[in-house]
Amino acid sequence: MSISLEEIQKISLLARLHVSAEEAGQYAVDLPGILAWVQQMNKVDTQGIEPMAHPMDASQRLREDTVTETDQRSRFQSVAPSTEKGLYLVPKVIE
């Protein structure tokens, strides 16, 4: 199998990773190799088998609807790259 450079660019856009031309070339080699290896999964027929998303066959526990969290903004924002007036800042977004 092969993966085109356009496809690599599309994936890198979805993943928000900058991929240089050189890296893209490397991915174009690596990814098909790994994916081809992964495709040995196809040697077993899994039709009708329920996919297993969790190792435990359990159901979701529910919490009570109570507020126990207090304001820790200054603490949380002390590790933020850029804040002002209590807001996290990013370059201007145009909708």
Partner 1 sequence: MTAKWEAVIGLEIHVQLATRSKIFSAASTAFGAEPNTQACAVDLGLPGVLPVLNSEAVRMAAMFGLAVNAKIAKRSVFARKNYFYPDLPKGYQISQYELPIVEHGQLEVVSDGGGRKIVGITRAHLEEDAGKSLHEEFSDQTGIDLNRAGTPLIEIVSEPDMRSAKEAVSYMKKIHSIVRHLEISDGNMQEGSFRCDANVSVRPAGQEALGTRTEIKNLNSFRFVERAIEFEIKRQIRVLEDGREVVQETRLYDAGEDETRPMRSKEEADDYRYFPDPDLLPVVIRSEVIEDIKRQLPELPAEKASRFRLEYGLNEQDAEILAMNKEVAEYFEQTVRKTSADTRRVANWVTGELNAALSVDNLDITSSPVTSDMLAGLLTRIEDGTISGKIAKEIFRSMWAGEGEADSIIESKGLRQITDTLEIELLVDQVLLDNPVQVGQFKSGKDKVFGFFVGQVMKLSKGKANPQQVNSLLRKKLQ
Partner 2 sequence: MEELSVRQLAQGLAHRQFSSVELTRHFLARMQAHRHLNAFITEMGEQAVRQARLADQRIRSGDHGPLTGIPLAHKDIFCMQDGKTTCGSKMLDNFIAPYDATVVQKLEQAGCVVLGKTNMDEFAMGSSSENSFYGPVRNPWNSDCVPGGSSGGSAVAVAARMAPLATGTDTGGSIRQPAAFCGITGLKPTYGRVSRYGMVAYASSLDQAGPFGKSALDCAYLLQAMSGFDDRDSTCMDEPVPVYPRKLDRSLRGKVVGIPDEYFSEGLDPEVRVFMERAIAWAEKEGCIIENIRLPNTDLAIPAYYVIAMAECSSNLSRYDGVRFGYRCREPKNLHDLYHRSRSEAFGAEVKRRIMIGTYALSTGYYDAYYRKAQQIRRLISEDFNKAFQDVDYILGPTTPEPAFRIGEKVDDPVTMYLSDIYTISVNLAGIPAVSIPCGIHKGLPVGMQLIGNHFEEDKLLNFAHQYQQATDWHTRCPPGFE
Residues of this chain that bind partner 1 (CB under 8 A): 10, 13-14, 16, 53-54, 56, 58-69, 71-73, 76-77, 82, 84-95
- Stretch (H or E) spanning 47: none
Rounded to a whole number of angstroms, the minimum distance from the CB of residue 22 to partner 1 is: 24
The two structure tokens encoding residue 30: 């690596």
Contact indicator for 2, 33 with CB cutoff of 8 Å: no
Site for partner 2 in 64-83 (CB under 8 A): 72, 75-76, 78-82
Binding mask 16-45 for partner 2 (x = CB under 8 A): xxxx-------x--xx-xxx-xxxxxxxx-
Residue 91 corresponds to which tokens in the numbers above? Answer: 């370059």
DSSP 93: P
